[in-house]
Amino acid sequence: MSTQESQLKSDLQSLQETFRELSLRLAEAAGNLGRSGRPPSEDIIQQLDGAHRRFRELQEGAFQLAAGEHMAAPTVSDRATIPDLLALLRQVDETRTIRQKKQDQLQKARCVLDRVLSIVHKNSASFAPLADLHAKASGLRDQALAESDQPVIPELENLAEGRHPYCDFLHLLEHHEDIDDDRWVQLNESITQAFGKPLAIATARKKLKMKGNQEAVASRVALAPGVRSQEAVASWVALAPGVRSQEAGVRRRALTLRIPLPRRSIPRRCPRPRVWNLLMQPPRPL
């Protein structure tokens, strides 16, 4: 439940307690009016009028929240009660939870489809089985982007939960060296049944690959040569964090100054002074 809904719920509960207190005072005023003909005091009338205005304000807030979630408000608003508005807030919260879950599923499905669409053939740019695969994945992605109040279709839901042949295809393509033989056979059979034997053979022979982040960044930078603004650099670096292009490396090396320091020549061993032993010298000729 959002902060606005929580505050609105708290205000409605507080107003309900105010109504209970007012009901006791009105019952006493009604008894006095019937027995002695004494009208209610101005204080009670002002409190009742203020509580009525406050109820209309909270009712309008609840109706606006319902409209934001494309929910139909009660047709007879004059007969709405505080329990009705509290129930409406619960419905708004449930609707928002379902919508958020749907958006998360669609986002996960789009991520899987984007990875599928990034697969290319190493040797052939027009590999027919891969082109058919891309066409189907592109159609599914368009469905995932479409705005609709209908529930998520089962195929997109399976994509989001990792139970689709596309997920098996990606898993075998990316982790073919890390899986055991039984799992490899299982994934290969799933790809063969879903997409055909040619695509399964190309996957097994490692003829397919996914476009790396460097290629994606290079293509984006090539679209705007010469642009070196902070916004441009931040935009393409954010698309592939951790990528260090050759140009960036050149700039980094150019900015690195290396100042040579003089080196002092220190001999490894200091020469030992020659000390002649005068006592051991040979006698000089007379």
Mean pLDDT of 200-227: 63
- Whether the pLDDT of residue 172 is over 50: the answer is yes
* Virtual torsion, Cα 146, 147, 148, 149, nearest 10 deg: 150
Find out whether 172 and 184 touch, Cβ atoms under 8 Å: yes
pLDDT tens for 100-158 read 999 999 999 999 999 999 999 999 888 999 999 999 999 999 988 887 777 888 999 99
| 28-74 pLDDT per residue, tens | 888 888 888 888 888 888 999 999 999 999 999 999 888 888 787 66
Q: CA–CA separation, 189 vs 230, rounded Å? A: 49
Nearest alpha carbon to residue 111 among 164, 59, 159, 43: 159
Higher pLDDT, 224 or 141: 141
For the chain, give every domain's residue range. 3-80, 102-213
pTM to 2 decimal places: 0.59
Whether residue 223 has pLDDT greater than 70: no
Q: How confident is the model at residue 166 (pLDDT cuts 50, 70, 90)?
A: very high
Placement of tokens 């009525």 in the chain: 52
Planar angle of CA 183, 185, 188, nearest 5 degrees: 110
Q: Which two tokens stand for residue 115?
A: 């990875």
**β-strand 208-210 against 119-121: which pairing, if any?**
antiparallel
pLDDT at residue number 232? 43
Calpha distance 3→92 (Å, rounded): 13
